[in-house]
Structure 1
């Protein structure tokens, strides 16, 4: 990801506000959101090519970070997930730490284990799963070596 590109924040107002506050404070304001850990994910838009940022609740699995594409239980996937399918290289910020990552979708036993771990962090995921017939993706963000 080229640091020279302009970055667009989420079109959801409160998410954009959260992301800007998070980045301005290196996560001191925003890393913990209503008791849940959050990170800032920057993806490349699959059609626009623009860099796009959003804030997400995350978990950890060893050195990897885990996020869930719940989209509040909506019947369509979040844009960030679709962007990661098209271009799995992304950037995350966790507090003041910035990582280049490669995303992959968890499958099989790993998916089940990570889903359960994420539902412990954010129990609303269970109710979101009941609101939609789509399979809610669990994404693993693997930090790349510099």
Structure 2
């Protein structure tokens, strides 16, 4: 989902008790290539800071309400990932 010029992702793993592999990959190497439609561009991913997460989480849940169910299904806190275009 878009948040201004950046993108936000929920590392939900459908409510499983472990992080999805793609999230672990991003924490190991935050330099990514993003494709939106036909456009491809380099970007950098990071886990949202605690003060950023509440607003971004509500943005995600407003667009896809099932993410709230995923959070309730797991004992882990689902990370929100912020992806910024590389400069």
TM-score by length of 1: 0.58
Q: Residue 109 of structure 1: SS of its match in structure 2?
A: coil
Distance 1:66 1:130 in 2: 20
Q: Residue 82 of structure 1: SS of its match in structure 2?
A: helix
Distance 1:138 1:78 in 2: 12
1:77 corresponds to:
19
From 61, 76, 80, the equivalent of 1:138 is 80
RCO higher in 1 or 2 (8 Å CA, sep ≥ 6)? 2
Query: Within the alignment, does 1:60 sit opposite 2:2 as a pair?
Result: yes
- The list of structure 1 runs, each at least 4 consecutive aligned residues, that deviate by more than 4 angstroms after superposition, is none
1:12 corresponds to:
none
TM-score by length of 2: 0.96
Larger Rg: 1
Structure 1, gaps ≥5 residues long: 1-58
Deviation, structure 1 residue 99: 1.6
Distance 2:20 2:85 in 1: 22
1:69-122 Cα deviation digits (max 9, x unpaired): 000000010000000000000111000111211001112231100000000111
